[in-house]
Structure 1
Amino acid sequence: MNGVQAPAAGQPLLLGVRHHGPGSARAVRAALEAARPRVVLVEGPPEADPLIPLAAAEDMRPPVALLAHAVDEPGRSAFWPLAAFSPEWVALRWALEHGVPARFIDLPATHTLAWQRDEEEEEEEEEGEEQEGEGEGQDLGEGAEAGAAQDALDAHVRIDPLGVLADTAGYDDAERWWEDVVEHRGAGKGDALAPFTALEEAMTALRETYGSGGHGRDLIREAHMRLRIREAQREFEDGVAVVCGAWHVPALRRRAGVTADRALLKGLPKVRTDMTWVPWTHRRLSRAGGYGAGIDSPGWYAHLYAAPDRPVERWLTKVAGLLRAEDRTVSPGHVIEAVRLAETLAALRGRPLPGLGEATDAVRAVMCEGSDVPLALVHDRLVVGDVLGQVPDTVPAVPLQRDLERTRRRLRLEPQPDERELDLDLRKETDAERSRLLHRLRLLGIDWGRPAVSRSGTGTFRETWRLRWEPELAVRTAEAGVWGTTLPAAATAKAEADAVAARGLADVTGLAEQCLLAALPDALPVVMRVLADRAALDTDVARLAQALPALVRSLRYGDVRGTDTAALAEVAAGLAERVFVGLPPACAGLDADAAEEMRGHVDAVHSALGLLGDAPAARAGRLRTRWRAVLRTLSARDTVPGVLRGRAVRLLLDEGELAREEAARLMGLALSPGTPPADAAAWTEGFVGGPGGGLLLVHDERLFALVDRWLTAVPAEAFTDVLPLLRRTFSAYEPGVRRTLGELVRRGPGRHGRTDAATAGAPGFGPGVDETRADAVLPVLRLLLGPDGEEEAPAADRAAVRR
């Protein structure tokens, strides 16, 4: 058998591996090539046996994962990820290439998923017991204390047995120990079973010392594996090879009675389960899950498995290519020096060959000039990586998943593991359909895309999304399959159910907005009926004001999306009427926090009415007139907090409903010496806080002078009380506005150099007009406006500049 020591008669060939270990993967292929077994058994859920032939499909590209989910509860799921360098994947591919049967032998997923619920319940019970027994720890006997300590130690060993072996060998890093003893072995030299023999001896010693490692369910899994191995031995006699975690090999080697193994499996909980293949990513391999074997450097491991020779040289060449693509100066000489440094570091550290640590140190010193900033890019792009696997179209899937795939391909939206931005122009049919797809997915809880602020422009016809595909979205899709077999049907059913179950009025208005964004006309009648009922019964003005903006935003979508929003307009108008009636009494007697919250509602209602005014069926004129009357009422009532009175005055001023002289008069009253400093500061915050407030002070000297005189007159003992409000107000201004205000304060109000009527009301201008500077502007004005005549143009232009 080409130097391979065959197992004893009647014994299977047990190949203990490290999950996702490239060294183990190479060793498994070498052992299988040498032993040529008649059947290959792999640690994994037996329900996936029918899916094994798909691993040989041309369009199957790892990393992939086996996904198991409960039929009646799709959100309860489990993954078994496999990469190209996973020993289990290598064993499956070897079996398919050589026409050898392959089977999974781990505990069925039907029990694994049922255990998840039990584990959650156990955790809750343990938390309760810990709380009850906090004062009873001193009553534990010596044996109980020793048992508790042993359980804690066992749990640690179970989590990372390689860490114990590395510590025993004198290493402080399990990854570095694994590289030295496995990854740096000469492949194909000597006995192909030598690495498995060594690992089995080490794990046998650990199991003899620590038993099951504090995880009793491993004993049940191993009992099932032994039963499946016996079945294969009866069928194939001595031609059985088993690929499993090295931790399980001692238990599988141990002789145990069939009756005892079956007794362990008796009465296990069950759930109905479906299995399929789903794409996976290298980034997800770095997290513990499925096999419980998260790895820190999947990209590095993939490189080690794929590199036929000189892995360090090839790796550093790959790093140099990445850095050059990012416009960093990296030459072939840098690569040569980095290789030399990595080899030197390995020799100094007593390692047989450079590993990832030495390669990283060499990259930092030679290619990154000691900086960790480009090194972080290398770690993200190469050490971890964002490789996304692919599965064939023939894999089992719920109907909703099929519909999503068809729609995705028709709209040319490819799933990618790295985040990217997608700008949509809703005037284009394809982009509009993409928008509807992403909004429907969000309504179903499948967050493939998240809305973002558009950098390409503004307007209701533009949308920007950040897309990133995560493997868990396959679970969310299966979970959403209970709502329907197509995306429109599922999203409609989900929206109707959410509307009925919604607790707050704002939730229903937000749902109406989502229905319009997702183009779900069949769901709107139900949502609108619930919305009308909730709005009629809700008497909380704050909730009504909170619900109105989302409802009014929905009216805007009819401009681009062609949606009939007449019913929404009527509901929005009625909601606005109720806000007008209830807002003045609701604003009376509020404390500072409640007043600040109500100011946000007032701003939102004001902005919403600005949008509502453009809707033809919104009774815009009457609503805007009534809203101005409400603002006047708020500005004049002494029982209304100062921040709200100041805000009402500011909104009326912005709307042109209040003259600047009147605004200055109201501000003078609010900042008079008889007003408590805290109330005056609150009024100031409401008036000049928010967007545009700083420019208002810059361009209106009267308002600026009023604030300046009030501030200088605030008593010293009260200044510390108003300072937080003032700091919050002025810190929100743009840096340029703050600098201008600081310059005006330095000069002092009334000393801005104004000497004639031409510059009145415009601070910062000098006396008269500089004719030379005005003439310099004339060529640009001619280009923009065009000449009015040959002789009279310069004089007219100068007059325009003076104005």
Structure 2
Amino acid sequence: MSRPALLGVRHHGPGSARAVVSALGQCAPSAVLIEGPPEADAIVHLAADEGMRPPVALLAHAADDPGRAAFWPLAAFSPEWAAIRWALAHDVPVRFIDLPAAHSLAAAGGPGAETDAPGGGASHPAPRLDPLAALAAAAGYDDPERWWEDAVEHRRGGPADGDALAPFAAVADAMGELRTGFAEVGTDGPLADRDGIREAYMRLKLREAQKEFGDAVAVVCGAWHVPALAAKRTVAADRQVLKGLPKVKAEISWVPWTHRRLSRHSGYGAGITSPGWYGHLFHAPDRPVERWLTDVARLLREEDFPVSSAHVIEAVRLAETLAAMRGRPLAGLAETVDAVRAVMCDGSDVPLALVRDRLVVGDVLGEVPASAPATPLQRDLARLQRTLRLKPEAAFRDCEFDLRKDTDAARSRLLHRLRLLGVDWGEPMRSRGGLGTFRESWRLCWEPELAVRIAEAGAWGTTVEGAATARAEALAREADALADITALAERCLLAGLDGALPAVMRALADRAALDTDVGHLARALPALVRSVRYGDVRRTGTTALAEVAAGIAERIFVGLPAACAGLDTDAAAEMRGHTDAVHQAVSLLAETETGDRAGDEAEANTTPGIRQRWSAVLRILAGRDGLPGGIRGRAARLLLDDGRLTDDRAARLMGLALSAGTAPADAAAWIEGFVGSGGSGGMLLVHDERLLTLVDTWLTGVPPDAFTDVLPLLRRTFSAFEPGVRRTLGELVRRGGASATGAAAPGEAPLDEERAAAVLPTMRLLLGMAETAETHGHAQGAA
């Protein structure tokens, strides 16, 4: 080589990667220069480590602001990765020559930015100036991806004359013409300016490499930059372009990447639509179509689709036929997808979507060796992942944890701690196995961006537990709302952060003492009570939390009746929701109180419990005139459900609420509050015809001019019932309310007491009742 070899490539192109390896083997350069941040020179040797498995990415971030970061992704089929691996295997020095991350991060607009190429910034102009689209159009193609596959990816052999550098010379000529044409139509602006800065720096680094290693160096960069690197520019002119660039202190490391993040639909500018397909083309030694369709058949069989070897044979024939009809040198992704849909999927796109997700895109997650640079927090997290056997995976995975087991409890604590740090590796899900507090369900998915979040969280500590504790204490100091602090207390308990609870409790006590808004207290209580309850399963002390919860509950009891007065419709609905939440919280808190007081029977018999005190508040709400009807109705319903309100008393309250002197809108609100929404309220009316009769009597007596005002509220209430409940209620109303004695409604057969009595022996066995003449007689009378 008498001058540098400029190897212009398409990033993440398997054809370009193979061509680069052939060209490097032919020219045997003294050094390989890669489009990438020069800060990576110190860690590029790790690419040869056995523990390094692409896809991976270089992650650079500002030392004082880890959220200001950028990635340079590399897949196994990326030309830059192929060049790095070739150079390390042949003991050839490797250097990165793009604009340093110190400059690009200083000018970056936001955190976690992905570069458009492994060199930072855009590897080609904006989409309207896409060089591949221009070349494809010149070749008569309307799809740049299809043209690239035909021109590069599907041509597996070398050039006819054996010159591996000839294709790169042709690409350089084409890019030169395109850049000239774009310049003539005035396609400049910020993007062109950024490319000009990068290319000026690359020319300076190229000159430095020539002085150090001689002219026999090879440069692997985006094809768009080749004409600029070959252009004659003075050193002074290039330095003038770089003068005054902003700069920050940057740190760089290797992090795992995924095929899914390489896909274009993920938002990555220089991404590819089919990383899984490109990976297959790069690794397949021969017969790529046959091997690909075999992999598709294996996947579909694993998912219980009836696919045989005959399907593979027919799909190969169809794909090759389609390629010949379309004038393509080899069946590409479009032909294989069409063949899979027609032959293996019976024309359905449902199994085809599985093929696209698992094979065309793929869920491969790279690996980085333990020797790679990492922050103490990253190392602690990696240690915990190994200890707990909780391996990061790119695909979504659902996990069920039994908190009674030490390992599962530790896994749960780790995920909750990471969520406190903003590292959302796992998302809590509703458990499918039951409602027990000892069970947790999670959906896990590791995204590359979490590496940035871990780098940011490193500012809080060197271990996951220490960082999460410091973060929780800071959140407690910053929280303004009482509900935020109680929610934080719950999160600390779930995460097992005993060290953070004292600070959270101090903030909670201070805020609770100053907050007099009953609505705020009601919003805060449920999370706090859940925290008390979780302590039993997680073996965490919650005495202090229980005391604060009891104090908040008492303040709610005192202030709730007054807070419910004078509310408009929306405020009344909100307060009714608070009443429901407090009722549930009191039920949970009463269980804890009962356990604490079990040892002192005398005190338990003389001091009213929290449930009794809450019931007294509900009686005040149910019977006080002037309060919104929805709140009064809800209080009566809660008392009835707890067995603290007799049927007669409930009927009396309903009769008063639905009397002729009550405004129809207020009466309808009372019904909505009492009956509630969903199946539970409807079932109450189904099984208590006296209450249904009261509602029906009131409704039929509403004056015609007021009925239109009441109808929307009634529709909202009754439409929430299950269809079967509404149908049963309709039948009861149609019957006109059959008597409790079992008399048949008009048009129905009378009750056959003899047939009804035949089931009584079986019922007694199920209920564990003794067979006696007295019970038999009573049962027959009841029938």
Residue 717 of structure 2 is aligned to residue 729 of structure 1: yes
- Matching residue's letter, 2:172: E
Which residue of 1 is the match for residue 168 of structure 2?
196
Check conservation: 1:609, 1:624, Cα contact below 8 A: yes
Match of 1:419 among 386, 390, 396: 396
Is the Cα contact below 8 Å between 1:157 and 1:213 reproduced in 2? no
Aligned partner (choices 70, 78, 87) of residue 86 of structure 1: 78
Q: Which runs of structure 2 are paired with 1:473-488 in the superposition (5 Å)? A: 473-488=450-465
Q: Would you say the 8 A contact 1:774–1:798 is kept in 2?
A: no
Q: Which of 626, 638, 641 is the matching residue for 1:639?
A: 626
Query: What is the rounded CA distance, in whole Å, between the counterparts of 1:404 and 1:203 in structure 2?
Result: 46
1:799 positional shift: 5.1
Amino acid at match of 2:133: G
Aligned-pair distance for 1:406?
A: 0.9
Picking from 284, 309, 315, the partner of 1:307 is 284
CA shift digits 1:608-661 (9 cap, x unpaired): 011111223599944322222221222223322111111111011111111111
Deviations 1:48-84 (A, max 9, x none): 1111111111111111111011111111110001111
What corresponds to 1:207 in structure 2?
179
Distance in 2, matches of 1:544 and 1:607, equals: 14
**C-alpha deviations, 1:730-761, integer Å up to 9, x for none?**
333334333433433443422788239xx9xx
The answer to whether 1:769 aligns with 2:761 is: no
Deviation at 1:169, TM superposition (A): 2.9
Change (3 A) 1:640 1:260: same
Deviates more, 1:267-276 or 1:709-718: 709-718
Q: Deviations over 1:497-540 (max 9, x none)?
A: 00000111111111111111111112111111111111111121
> What is the CA-CA distance between 1:98 and the residue it aligns to?
1.0
Distance of aligned partners of 1:801 and 1:509 in 2 relative to their CA distance in 1, 3 Å threshold: farther
Paired residue type of 1:644: I
| % same residue | 67
* Equivalence for 2:735: 747
SS at match of 2:437: coil
Aligned-partner residue type, residue 151 of structure 2: V
Q: Is the 8 A contact 1:752 1:765 kept in 2?
A: no
Partner of 2:132: 162
The amino acid that maps onto 1:574 is: G
2:203 corresponds in structure 1 to 226
Aligned pair partner of 1:243 in 216, 220, 227: 220
For 1:601, the equivalent position in structure 2 comes to 578
Amino acid at match of 1:176: R
User: Are the equivalent residues in 1 in contact too, given 2:664–2:702 (CA < 8 A)?
Assistant: yes
After superposition, where does 1:54-133 map in structure 2 within 5 Å?
Answer: 54-117=46-109
CA distance in 1, matches of 2:695, 2:267: 65
Query: 1:728: Cα distance to partner?
Result: 2.8
Amino acid at match of 2:334: G
Residue 14 of structure 1: SS of its match in structure 2?
Answer: strand
What do you get for the CA RMSD once the two structures are aligned?
Answer: 2.8
Q: Distance in 1 between the 2:127 and 2:692 partners?
A: 67
Match of 2:118 in 1: none
Q: Tell me if structure 1 keeps the 8 A contact 2:757–2:780.
A: no
**1:47 and 1:787 mapped to 2: Cα distance?**
82
Alpha-carbon separation, structure 2, partners of 1:610 and 1:500:
30
Partner residue, 1:38: 30
Which of the residues 651, 657, 660 maps onto 1:670? 657
- 1:114–1:271: 8 Å Cα contact kept in structure 2? yes
Residue 696 of structure 1 aligns to a residue in which SS?
Answer: helix
How far the C-alpha of 1:554 sits from its partner, in A, is: 0.8
> Aligned partner of 2:743: which letter?
T
The 8 Å contact of residues 26 and 187 in structure 1, kept in 2 or not, is answered as: no
Residues 261 and 268 of structure 2 are in contact (CA less than 8 Å); yes or no, is this contact kept in structure 1?
no
Give the corresponding residue for 1:583: 560
Secondary structure of the structure 2 residue equivalent to 1:172 = coil
Answer with 694-703 or 735-744: which moved more. Answer: 735-744
CA distance in 1, matches of 2:525, 2:225: 61
Paired with 1:119 and 1:251, the residues of 2 have a C-alpha distance of 30
1:455: how far off?
1.0
Give, in angstroms, the shift of residue 793 of structure 1.
10
| 8 A Cα contact 2:45 2:88, kept in partner | yes
Question: Is 1:185 aligned to 2:162, yes or no?
Answer: no
Q: Is the alpha carbon distance of 1:194 and 1:557 closer, same or farther for their aligned partners in structure 2, counting shifts above 3 Å?
A: same
In 2 relative to 1, CA 204–801 (structure 1 residues): closer, same or farther, beyond 3 Å?
Answer: farther
Contact 1:778 1:798 in 2 (8 A): no
* Residue number in structure 1 paired with 2:640: 653
Secondary structure, in 3 states, of the residue corresponding to 2:498? Answer: coil
Count of matched residue pairs: 752
* Partner Cα distance (2:49, 2:126) in 1: 40
Is the contact between residue 154 and residue 210 of structure 1 (CA under 8 Å) also seen in structure 2?
no
Q: Which moved more, 1:253-262 or 1:207-216?
A: 207-216
- Counterpart of 2:119? none
CA offset at residue 99 of structure 1?
1.1
User: Offset of 1:802 from its aligned partner?
Assistant: 6.9
Q: Is the 8 A contact 2:764 2:770 kept in 1?
A: no
Matched residues in 2 for 1:700 and 1:289: separation? 56
Q: How does 1:278-297 map to 2 (within 5 A)?
A: 278-287=255-264, 292-297=269-274
- Equivalence for 1:139: none
Residues 474-517 of structure 1, C-alpha deviations (whole Å, 9 max, x = no match): 11111101111111211111111000001111111111111111
How far did residue 797 of structure 1 move? 12
Alignment of 1:454-473 (within 5 A): 454-473=431-450
Q: 1:718 to 1:201 in 2, by over 3 A?
A: farther
Partner of residue 629 from structure 1, selected from 613, 616, 621: 616
Q: Residues 366 and 60 of structure 1: is their aligned pair in 2 closer, same or farther, counting only changes over 3 Å?
A: same
Change (3 A) 1:374 1:715: farther
**C-alpha spacing 1:228/1:463, structure 2 compared with 1 (3 Å):** same
Q: C-alpha separation between the residues in 1 aligned to 2:774 and 2:651? A: 40
Distance 1:752 1:403, change over 3 A: same
Whether the aligned pair in 1 keeps the contact of 2:15 and 2:152 (CA below 8 Å) is yes
- 8 Å Cα contact 2:53-2:367 kept in structure 1: yes
Question: Matches of residues 338-487 of structure 1 in structure 2 within 5 Å?
Answer: 338-487=315-464
The residue identity in structure 2 corresponding to 1:218 is: D
Gaps of 5+ in 1: 1-5, 121-152
Give 2:349's aligned amino acid.
D
**Structure-2 residue corresponding to 1:173:** 143
| 8 Å contact from structure 2 (residues 629, 669) kept in 1 | yes
Tell me the residue number matched to 1:693.
Answer: 681
2:671 equivalent to 1:684:
yes
Residues 694-734 of structure 1: CA deviation (Å, up to 9, x unaligned):
11111111112222233334455544443433333233333
Counterpart Cα distance in 2 of 1:720 and 1:469: 55
For structure 1, which segment, 93-102 or 738-747, has the greater mean C-alpha deviation from structure 2 after superposition?
Answer: 738-747
Tell me by how many angstroms 1:272 deviates.
1.2
Query: Which residue of the partner structure matches residue 120 of structure 2?
Result: none
3-state SS of the aligned residue for 1:75? strand
Q: 1:475 to 1:799 in 2, by over 3 A?
A: same
Partner Cα separation in structure 1 for residue 125 and residue 470 of structure 2: 49
Is this contact kept in 2: 1:774–1:801, CA < 8 A? no
Which shows bigger deviation, 735-744 or 600-609? 735-744
Deviation track 1:391-443 (CA, whole Å, cap 9, x = no partner) reads: 11111111011111111111111111111111111111111111111111111
Q: Does the aligned pair in 2 maintain the 1:154–1:213 contact within 8 Å?
A: no
TM-superposition CA deviations, 1:18-65 (whole Å, max 9, x none) = 111111111111111111111111111110111111111111111111
Report Cα offsets for 1:351-372 as digits up to 9, x if no partner.
Answer: 2222111111111112111111
1:732 alignment partner AA: A
TM-score (norm: length of structure 2): 0.91
Counterpart residue type for residue 15 of structure 2:
G
